Structure 1
Amino acid sequence: MTLAHTTVLLQEAVDALLLQPHEDAPDPAAGTYVDGTFGRGGHSRALLARLGPAGRLIAFDKDPEAVAAATTGDNAITDPRFEIHHASFASMAEALAQRAPAGADGVLMDLGVSSPQIDNPARGFSFRFDGPLDMRMDTTRGESAADFLARADERQIAQVIRDYGEERFAVSIAKALVARREGGKPPRTTAELSELVAGAVKTREAGQNPATRTFQALRIFVNAELEELEQGLRAALSLLKTDGRLAVISFHSLEDRIVKTFIQHESRVEVDRRAPFAPPSRALRLQPLGRIKPSEGEVRENPRSRSAVLRVARRLSAEESGL
């Protein structure tokens, strides 16, 4: 099955990574870059087109179908400057310790779920298509959404739906799920779950399917997305060279809040309030460079881009750090 994917904020993300910060900075086209979420390769291919002969791009993806898209078939990337790892971006520091010990000049992370994942009924990400209730990005390991709902208690289910979906009817949905399970019919398909949630949600937001928040919550939980995002951000910071860029595209408030908080935390010094005239206890490490939203034209052409936010930061030098 061939499913199309339109890359969000394509030129904005590539420009953010490759923009030379000042005259004395190394040529960005000769740098080493990380694409932490290859997907179907939109950002990777655009980066390769801008890199020079000495440039390198190291990509990661948890989804074996994404790795296959990069390595097999007519659209495989055969460029010797490119390599891809079947792994989470949370593990990028370990991988680059061997492959690029000098570090990275830029790290890109395009979060969330891709169109080929959403639009393939067999993956179970969307209530728009009936299919197995899987939701794993890495189908070679881990617990599916159906397996989680088959074994978790009411409190655990409600907590996941509330915390990761920001769903105010989380308790009602959890009660309905457990009642169905006790009746011998736990939901095993997306249609069964969507129907159950629709019956448990008392009011609906205009233009939004009542199952939207529950599906988001289960997907985030099953894939440990927020925990891996925090790990990935720390790994990226540890890899970035001076003047290197961090660019992260998020699609919902939970992700964006983590990215925003991380950049803010790393862009201010810490001072011991008990000794206010002592040197700072932690250096500045990042300079925030802005927040970018898709243009009106991009949103018209690709409605799925409407919630995207790109945040960019620069790795500061030792002289700029404040210590």
Structure 2
Amino acid sequence: MHARLADFIATAVATVRPGDDDSFFAMRAAFDALIADRSVWSSVLNAELSAILTDPNNEGGGRWLMQRLLIHACPRFTLSLATNVFELAAPQQRLEENKDFLLAPGGHVMLAFLHDQPVQVHRYALPADSDYDVFDPATALESLGTTTIPSKQRIDIDGRREAIDFDMPEDGVAVVMNAAPCVSQLWSIEARTLKPLGASIANERVSIMMTMLNELARVRHQPALEVVSQLTRHPDHNIRWCAMKCLGRLDGDAAIKHLEQLVADPHPYVRAAARTTLDKLESSKEVAHVHDAH
């Protein structure tokens, strides 16, 4: 690995802290210096292409994804070299080469184009009273305008509020640094209306935990009761409610106790779901009482 690239990664590993926005953007100056050194990227590409020529299976080589080379990945950030906008893993998603959808990044991003041609970048942001963590199909992103970005100029994207859209030449190359997700959901956004079409889980670990909770619920694994109860206080609202549903399969009395606590949950979806579930339970008790009376 090129010495400057190795130094940058080592500095980023020591600097970037999960959940700390400032620590990610503290890497701006180092990122700019890295981008300015063309020898870094020619070295990276030459090494990887040579590895493919000598070993077509690329065993032990870099991690090539669809039109993207993943240079470094850790729980705090990823660094990649992208040769097509489809796989920037943050700003835009294409379907059949039509710019029909945008994908909110989910985490903060720094990127820069290495090719000589300037790029037109369209920026969008959520309204001030909206939040990517609260999916609302009526919310439309607001356009922040279009900017011409020259080669090697860094673009910062606020993963909590922004999305961008751009066209890159077929022979274009971009360096992309993605922070770990800072929101719990990724919105798919229709480019024409700028309104969301759906949301998916942003954090792979959260998805894994939800799958495990669903399995514990399916088999009614009683030894997990205490741990599942603790997860109803997890920082991610998706896990809190998934744990709540699992708890309902393991211990009805414990579930009711936690439901009563979750009606005051900070996330509106969890609050509403807890309130609705409690109301249904109360209604079922009233119906049972009526039947017993007869």
Relative to the length of structure 2, the TM-score reads 0.28
Larger RCO, structure (CA 8 Å, separation 6 or more)? 1
| CA radius of gyration, larger in | 2
Relative to the length of structure 1, the TM-score reads 0.26
More strand by share: 2
